[in-house]
Amino acid sequence: MMDVQKIRDDFPILTQQVNGKPLVYFDNAATSQKPQIVISALDKYYKEINANVHRGVHTLSQLATDAYELTRNKIQHYFNAQHNYEIIFTRGTTESINLVASSFTSILNEEDEIIISHLEHHSNIVPWQFLCERTGAKLRVIPINEKGELLLSEYEKLLNNKTKIVAVSHVSNTLGTINPIKEIIDKAHRFNAAVLIDGAQAAPHIQADFQALDCDFYCMSAHKMYGPTGIGFLYGKEAWLRKLKPYHGGGEMIKLVTFKKTTYADLPHKFEAGTPNIAAGVAFGTAIDYITKIGIKNIATYEDTLLKYATEKLEQIDGLKIYGTAEKKASVISFNVKNIHPFDIGSIVDKLGIAVRTGHHCTQPIMQFFNIPGTVRASFSFYNTKEEIDVFVAALQKAVAMLQ
């Protein structure tokens, strides 16, 4: 069992007051809070080893390179990638998806099809639309049911020999649905389609095993798993990464530059042009150590108790409707109360120290499906407590009484 009080002590921000009230942070799906050791890793990096990576012979440059590359190895082991050079550092999930979508330009033509799902975050929709505009390929969308689950029978109908890539989220950021990605991957592979998994929301709750999943690409943002902003990665199978053209051109990603022709560096540097966010990369490694110490299974089990507790409490509020009731669900609850605008609820509970997200959560097609302008979204992490849920429910009742 986890000692939640002890864990809370690791996160300095949680002791803050916001608007004169103790902070209740329920916006973890947007970004998670950072433990002190991650904050200290950033500080230590800048104080003791700051230098540019992969270029200097001098001692600090080598120390910085070692620290940064250590994180690549930690990611490889944590997610069970076959090689460390299959991990490409990016700014996060958005950049990772754009990288793949951009690099697929030379592979696709107007006969080809791309499959995404109705559950996707805009960052797993728009880059594919760009790709369709560039190549003439067609975008196909896996529909969902009222619970917010993918209709796999419809997915099977969409798959065919023209399907070149399937891009779906592991976990929905708005509805919490945990998608059956292994099944999705295996079905796509029968048609030789590549599969990209948007793991932004899965990373804090589920330890993906890249080799067992057999995914071709997996995308992640460190800031959602207790690491810093501005760093994340793209996992790609070696064969794919060798086949794809580089995304950004510049320093670091070349072997030889002449005005006539440039040859590219080996993996992973081929996709890593320019000076990266070194400090964040180093501290991301510390975040992985931290999660490993606590245990992702312990985290998920505890968050599930919070999800069940909050769902029960919220369902008791008159006129409250939860969107996203999938059988397999992460600790995210989207809801509305009667016809009250989610923004009004969010603003009132904020005055009471509670941070929730309101709006479309960068998933406008989900809002169109339910025919709503947005939702209030509470997303829980392993440093949250049942007591905080009680505070939230009381605040919500107050808000509803004021607004209806």
Active centre residues (catalytic): 362
Q: Which is nearer to ligand 7TS, 22 or 359 (CB)?
A: 359
Residue of 198, 216, 272, 303 interacting with ligand 7TS (CB under 6 A):
198
Burial of 334 (0-12, 13-18, 19+ CB in 10 A): buried
Name the DSSP letter for residue 84. Answer: G
Cα-to-chain-centroid distance, residue 64: 26
95-105 burial, b at 16+ Cβ within 10 Å, e below that, comes to bbbbbbbbbbe
Stretch of 7-15, 121-129, 175-183, 286-294 lying at the interface with ligand 7TS (CB under 6 A): 121-129
Q: How far is the CB of 208 from ligand 7TS (least distance, A)?
A: 13
Q: How far is the CB of 357 from ligand 7TS (least distance, A)?
A: 6
Residue of 65, 71, 94, 358 interacting with ligand 7TS (CB under 6 A):
94
Binding string, 298-337, against ligand 7TS, x = CB under 6 A?
----------------------------------------
Q: Which is nearer to ligand 7TS, 269 or 377 (CB)?
A: 377
CA-based angle 137:194:182, to the nearest 5?
130
> Checking DSSP bridges between strand 217-221 and strand 232-236, what pairing results, if any?
antiparallel
Q: Does 252 bind ligand 7TS (CB under 6 A)?
A: no
Q: Does 123 bind ligand 7TS (CB under 6 A)?
A: yes
- Rounded-to-integer distance, Cα 392 and Cα 361, Å: 20
* Residues 200/167, Cβ–Cβ less than 8 Å: no
Q: Which long-range contacts (CB under 8 A, 24 or more apart) does 69-75 make?
A: 70/282, 70/285, 71/281, 71/282, 71/284, 71/285, 71/288, 72/268, 74/285, 74/288, 74/289, 75/233, 75/235, 75/284, 75/288
Q: How far is the CB of 223 from ligand 7TS (least distance, A)?
A: 6
Name the DSSP letter for residue 106. Answer: G
Q: Does 367 bind ligand 7TS (CB under 6 A)?
A: no
Residue of 65, 76, 177, 221 interacting with ligand 7TS (CB under 6 A):
221
Q: How far is the CB of 286 from ligand 7TS (least distance, A)?
A: 18
Stretch of 92-100, 158-166, 313-321, 365-373 lying at the interface with ligand 7TS (CB under 6 A): 92-100
Maximum CA pair distance of the chain? 71
Give the 3-state secondary structure of residue 72. Answer: helix
Q: Does 74 bind ligand 7TS (CB under 6 A)?
A: no
Structure tokens, 388: 């905080």
**For the chain, what is the radius of gyration of the CA atoms?**
22
Residue of 28, 32, 71, 93 interacting with ligand 7TS (CB under 6 A):
93
Q: Which is nearer to ligand 7TS, 201 or 277 (CB)?
A: 201
Q: How far is the CB of 168 from ligand 7TS (least distance, A)?
A: 10
In 3D, which of 346, 364, 305 has the Cα closest to residue 173? 364
Q: How far is the CB of 116 from ligand 7TS (least distance, A)?
A: 12
Q: Which is nearer to ligand 7TS, 31 or 325 (CB)?
A: 31
Q: Does 200 bind ligand 7TS (CB under 6 A)?
A: yes
Residue of 92, 230, 285, 374 interacting with ligand 7TS (CB under 6 A):
92
* Residues 54/252, Cβ–Cβ less than 8 Å: yes
Q: Does 29 bind ligand 7TS (CB under 6 A)?
A: yes
Q: What one-character-per-residue DSSP string does 140-192 give?
A: EEE-B-TTS-B-HHHHHHH--TTEEEEEEESB-TTT-BB--HHHHHHHHHTTT
Residues within the interface to ligand 7TS (CB under 6 A): 29-30, 92-94, 121, 123-124, 169, 173, 198, 200-201, 221, 357, 361-362
